[in-house]
A = this chain, B = another copy of it.
Amino acid sequence: MAEGQSQNTSSGQSLLYLTDEQLRQGIEAMFFAYRGFTADPDRILEGLSYGRAHHRAIHFIHCAPGTTVNNLLAILGVTKQSLNRVLRTLIEDGLVTSHVGRSDKRERHLTLTEAGEALEQQLSDAQRVRMRDAYRKAGPEAVAGFKTVLEAMMDDDMKRAYLALREGR
Contacts and interface: CB of A to CB of B under 8 A. Distances in A.
Number of copies: 2
Interface string A17-54: 11011111111111111111101000000000000000
Given A131-B27, A143-B26, A32 B154 contact: yes
Contacts of A63: 24, 28
B158 A17 contact: no
A102 interface: no
Contacts of A103: none
Nearest to A2: B125
B128 A30 contact: no
Contacts of A2: 121, 125
Contacts of A162: 28-29, 32
Contacts of A35: 77, 154-155, 158
A15 B144 CA distance: 13
Interface of A: 1-4, 14, 17-18, 20-37, 39, 56, 59, 63, 77, 121, 124-125, 127-128, 130-155, 158-159, 161-162, 165-166, 169
